[in-house]
Amino acid sequence: MTIRLGYQIPNFTYPGVPNDQLFDTVAAQAKEAEAAGFDTVLVMDHFYQLPGIGAPEDNMLESYTTLGALASVTSTIQLSTLVTGVTYRNPAFLAKTVTTLDVVSKGRAVLGIGAGWFEREHHELGFEFGTFGQRFERLEEALTIITPMLKGEVATFEGKWYVARGAMNNPRVRPTIPIMLGGSGEQKTFRLAARFADHMNIICDVEDLGRKVQVLRERCEEVGRDPSTLKTSFLVMGMVGESEQEVRELGETIPEDRRNRAFLGTAEQVADQLHEKVIGAGVDGITINLVRNGHRPGLVTSVGEALKPIVKA
């Protein structure tokens, strides 16, 4: 399993679009991405909008309901979160959820998972946040339960955080469902990826990317895994304009803390930058969002056409 070219939809606030037509705009982006040659559509697993994208009270759709609905309007594209916070769902329930998505989509689900980080959501919605270390303890335990369940095996485990007592998971439509971890932690996330994951989405500043790729390879070697079996992608904030004026305007909206993860220019200019700085760093694929204007018809197509040549197998 790999993600060569993913399209993430992180923003559900579209000027002039009423809420009862909101999903139509989301679906249109997914269908356009599929037609343009993207292999995966991803949504965030959050309940409030994130800083740097919008205000907390801006629209945010629940991820798995959205992916299930997208399964009904697409036919080939993989469907995933980037990524599910382990703190939000019991792991056996999460295994059941993503397996149901796989059945509904006829074998197109990917389980994206990570430790969780947005403390405000946890506090206001009543989820236990815990410490950094506790969240990674929970992630390891969750993966210990989820991994066999995605293979149709009975899961039995008793840990500090989670318990499974012969947990079954039927129906299924394929032997297993791929697991993608998201993050950048060299000591914790990468070690878990080497043990459990089929794919690693690296989220970091672009100047750190080459080192992250090398460390991930080392983590695989430490557990006796061939590094080539763990494919990678990089999450990009795409600030893509169709004119010089729009590019300038988009440049003024890049959050300060995202400047080392945002790529600004026309579709062709952004593709050139990504070829040099991301693919050149040894990453297998790119997941891009068009956070400001991806809902504009035609933009996803132009970005896909520009990016396909740099991520071809």
* Helix, strand, coil fractions of the chain, as percent rounded to 5: 45, 20, 40
Q: Is the pLDDT of residue 313 over 70?
A: no
Under 8 Å between Cβ of 85 and 76 = no
46-75 burial: b if 16+ Cβ within 10 Å, else e: bbbbbebbbeeeeebbebbebbbebbeebe
With a cut of 80, say whether residue 1 has pLDDT above it. Answer: no
C-alpha R_g of the chain: 19
pLDDT digits (tens, 9 = 90+) for 271-296: 999 999 999 999 999 999 999 999 99
pLDDT confidence of residue 159: 98
Determine the pLDDT at residue 75.
98
Taking only the tens place, the pLDDT of each residue in 104-155 is: 999 999 999 999 999 999 999 999 999 999 999 999 999 999 999 999 999 9
Buried b (16+ CB within 10 A) or exposed e, 294-305: bbeeebbbebbe
Neighbouring-strand partners of residue 79:
41, 109
pLDDT band for 2, please (50, 70, 90 cuts). confident
pLDDT digits (tens, 9 = 90+) for 78-103: 999 999 999 999 999 999 999 999 99
The alpha carbon of 62 is separated from its chain's Cα centroid by a whole number of angstroms, namely: 14
Quick: pLDDT tens for 227-260: 999 999 999 999 999 999 999 999 999 988 889 9
pLDDT at 256: 87
**Chain centroid offset of residue 82 CA:** 2
Is the pLDDT assigned to residue 225 strictly greater than 80?
yes
Per the CB < 8 A criterion, the answer to whether 162 and 145 are in contact is yes
Q: Contact 162/141 with Cβ under 8 angstroms?
A: yes
pLDDT digits (tens, 9 = 90+) for 16-51: 999 999 999 999 999 999 999 999 999 999 999 999
Regarding the domain delimited by 5-310, which CATH topology (the fold level of the hierarchy) does it fall under? TIM Barrel (3.20.20)
Helices (H), the chain: 22-35, 63-71, 91-104, 119-125, 132-150, 189-196, 209-222, 244-251, 267-277, 299-307
Q: What band does 312 get if pLDDT is binned at 50, 70 and 90? A: confident
Amino acid at 176: T
What does the mean pLDDT of the chain come to?
97
Question: What is the amino acid identity at position 141?
Answer: E
What is the average per-residue pLDDT within 151-170?
98
